[in-house]
Structure 1
Amino acid sequence: MINLYHMISRILIPTDFSESSRYAVKYAIDLNRMLRHRARLYLLHVLQDFTEFSEYDLSPTILPQIYLEFEQNAVKRLEEMVSSLIPQEMHCGTYLLHGVPFHEIIEFADKEKIDLIAIGTRGRTGLKHILFGHTAEKVVKKAPCPVLSIRHPDTGGGIGVEG
């Protein structure tokens, strides 16, 4: 029998601030409670690069300003997520990276020796869906550790473990 108590000490929770990723955070918190608060939580948001917007006629001086605003907003939202969802007795760090979400998540998990990734399976919609695409699917396929894919109950389906 596998003893998760000794196997899981670092849980990565990627977030795009969707309801699905908020649900994944709550699920990881419950899992950590079962582990007696032993695991450290890593809340990660990846800010997509603006290369996809190169087709728009935006001044090169405006893009850095817009990107800085997105960055500041992401930091604020990470802090709000921690203060509203993470119990004070749990160890949680927030991280903001830049790049392609699935790639940065996988690199972060490898670098930080993450034991488990808890990721929501449904994220953004519309243009945001195109940008964040099939992040969860790619993470499941390429992650260096087990991935707990968590579907929000409002979208149907269940919870699955890969890895």
Structure 2
Amino acid sequence: MYSKIVVAYDRSEDSEKALHQAVKLADLSKASIYLVHVAKESNKLSSQPATRIPYGTGSIGNEGHAGVPAPVPEQQNGVMIERSEGEAILREVKETLQHMGVNVHSEVRSGDPAKEIVDLAVMTEADLIIIGSRGLSGIKKWVLGSVSEKVAQQSPCPVLIVK
């Protein structure tokens, strides 16, 4: 049946339902579960106001251009915070599943959620991806699309979208 199942997990109600289905299927087929949490990328520029450098000082400081905010090192931006939170979330779930006897792996990635989920499925040679449906509708769905739709379109393996 299945030997490797990728599950997108972010602690939302929909991802909880997806995880529940994955555990059922993994139990039936003795499959391994690969949990993935995708950290949202934030603006790489500082939210601090631009520092004004006096004209003619001969130096423009760290900003690169006078009055332009400097890029923030990754450790200081929201991605690292989101990654840390994602790691904590997955650690907790992984421990619970391991106590239930499930063979589980976990990974936190950052970037486009659909791409990262599909990339993990390709890398692990997954047989199935299970993802929750957020239920976007109307203009939001048209403008943003849905992660689950993108995963289903790009996936090399079957995708189970759980509502």
What is the aligned-residue identity percentage? Answer: 30
Q: Which residue of 2 aligns with 1:106?
A: 118
1:122 to 109, 134, 138: 134
Q: Does 1:146 align with 2:158?
A: yes
Q: Does 1:64 align with 2:75?
A: yes
The aligned length equals 135
TM-superposed CA distance for 1:34, in Å, is 1.8
C-alpha separation between the residues in 1 aligned to 2:97 and 2:47?
A: 39
5+ residue gaps, structure 1, are 152-163
Q: Which residue of 2 aligns with 1:10?
A: 4
Q: TM-score, normalised by structure 2?
A: 0.72
State the Cα RMSD in Å: 2.6
Q: Is the 8 A contact 1:26 1:85 kept in 2?
A: no
Q: State the 4+ residue runs in structure 1 displaced beyond 6 angstroms.
A: none
Where do residues 11-160 of structure 1 align in structure 2 (5 Å cutoff)?
A: 11-35=5-29, 38-51=30-43, 57-58=47-48, 60-61=71-72, 64-65=75-76, 66-85=78-97, 87-122=99-134, 134-151=146-163
5+ residue gaps, structure 2, are 49-68
Gap change, CA 1:123 and 1:99, over 3 Å in 2:
farther
CA deviations 1:81-133 (Å, max 9, x no partner) are: 22345543110001011111001111111121010001111279xxxx9xx86
Judge which range, 58-67 or 98-107, deviates more: 58-67
CA deviations 1:108-159 (Å, max 9, x no partner) are: 11121010001111279xxxx9xx86111110111000001111xxxxxxxx
Alignment partner of 2:118: what SS? helix
Q: Is the 8 A contact 1:21 1:123 kept in 2?
A: no
